[in-house]
Amino acid sequence: MSKVDVLLGLQWGDEGKGKIVDVLAPKYNVVARFQGGPNAGHTLEFEGVKHVLHQIPSGIFRSHTKNVIGNGVVLDPVVFRQEIEGLAKFKLALRENLFISKKATLILPTHRLLDHAYETAKGENKIGSTLKGIGPTYQDKIGRQGLRVGDILSDNFRERFEKLTEVHFKILRDHNVQFNWNELEKPFMEAIDFLRTFQLIESEYFLNQELRKGSTILAEGAQGSLLDIDFGSYPFVTSSNTVTAGACTGLGIAPRHIGEVFGIFKAYSTRVGSGPFPTELLDEQGELMRKQGNEFGSTTGRPRRCGWIDLPSLKYSIMINGVTQLLMMKADVLSVFSRVKVCTGYKLRDGRETDILPYELVNEKITPIYEEMDGWPGEEIKGEPLPKGLQAYIEFLERELAVPITLISTGPDRSQTIYRQPLFA
């Protein structure tokens, strides 16, 4: 029996998971998404081509890789159709290599409208949602009234769709939301017909069978651990379990089948949307990071908030996920700074110092405690030996985090990847 390796982001998303899945994909027979939906934007770059995937697993560009959209995912059929059509130019074997769980939950057009309505109602306290309907869809799933992909194969799908949208219409009326239903319903139903032409499967059986055959499986996380519904900076989080345990429930994989856990993090921190961000830089250094790192959302285009790396939160993510290897992204972005800072602890309102994430992350006043180090300004990172400053930076992080950093990424292309140690035994 083989194992399922998990790859996930340890910060607030946008760590560069798409690139790494694409780099690792040749090692795996199967790549599976286990949570989230079109709120994700996984960017892949190869041979001068840049492509952003939202719902389709990042193994899709490798012709021998099977790609699974698992039961834990929320799927928007309209976005799905657009994504598939956007991939046409690559001439991929999509109908052969893509498998969709019948138990994935459907995002309806009304879920997107509800997302807008709820965010508007929150006023100043808004989450900063991507407004793709994620929260309301998971609400319906947990509320046991959601529609699932497998339902589109039943004769009474239309009836069930109308029943659920009626419930949504009532809420939308209460929120005074105006919309033209015909304009939304028609493309949705066409997208449902389109979705029916794909392989809709019992993905938990499929994946466990693959394991028994000895296939290698990579579970591809979306968003980041600090956006997890249980462990993130609640309520400024997404609505799914983005951590390793989510791969078990979102794919039907037993915990004992989990193998390596690849934790991806940026050499600094970013966050898009609202919520606490202890090391955020609101000055020209933050501006420089945003510019150097091209930190603008791949799904919404919003500028990302930027700041120094935050070890207390990384340690927390490593603990919750059982990370076995760390992969550091965008090391090149820090090459413009003559001094770099690492947050090693927090000073709280009452003067206490800690490296434990306080329960009241939202209302607590946190002052980061920094360790300052020499940078590697202007030095190009071409491979080993690394610039001295970067080498010291990495060794410091490894000592603090107690997990090896096995890979460093220095740019978006597949080729801009430095292996410090073999990733596979």
Known catalytic residues are 14, 42
The interface with ligand IMP within residues 305-344 (CB under 6 A) comprises none
CA distances to 29, 187, 247, 251 from 207, in Å: 11, 32, 12, 8
Contact region with ligand IMP (CB under 6 A), list: 8-16, 64-72, 323-331, 403-411: 8-16
Pick the closer one to ligand IMP by CB: 266 or 315.
266
Does 11 help bind ligand IMP (rule: CB under 6 A)? no
CB of 134 to ligand IMP, least distance (A): 4
Which one of residues 20, 24, 53, 134 is an interface residue with ligand IMP (CB under 6 A)? 134
The answer to whether residues 34 and 221 touch, using CB atoms and an 8 Å cutoff, is yes
The interface with ligand IMP within residues 231-250 (CB under 6 A) comprises 236, 238
CA distances to 104, 313, 361 from 354, in Å: 40, 11, 13
Residue with tokens 């993090």: 265
- End-to-end Cα separation, the chain, in angstroms: 16
**Quick count: other Cβ atoms within 10 Å of Cβ 199?**
15
Which one of residues 246, 250, 273, 307 is an interface residue with ligand IMP (CB under 6 A)? 273
Does 13 help bind ligand IMP (rule: CB under 6 A)? yes
The interface with ligand IMP within residues 22-41 (CB under 6 A) comprises 39-41
Pick the closer one to ligand IMP by CB: 55 or 223.
223
The answer to whether residues 306 and 314 touch, using CB atoms and an 8 Å cutoff, is no
Does 122 help bind ligand IMP (rule: CB under 6 A)? no
DSSP class per residue in 194-246: HHTTSEEE-HHHHHHHHHHHT--EEEE--S-GGG-TTTSSTTSS-SS--SHHH
Which one of residues 16, 135, 252, 389 is an interface residue with ligand IMP (CB under 6 A)? 135
Does 222 help bind ligand IMP (rule: CB under 6 A)? yes
Contact region with ligand IMP (CB under 6 A), list: 7-15, 77-85, 152-160, 190-198: 7-15
Task: Point out which residues bind ligand IMP (CB under 6 A).
Answer: 12-14, 39-41, 127-130, 132, 134-135, 222-223, 227, 236, 238, 272-273
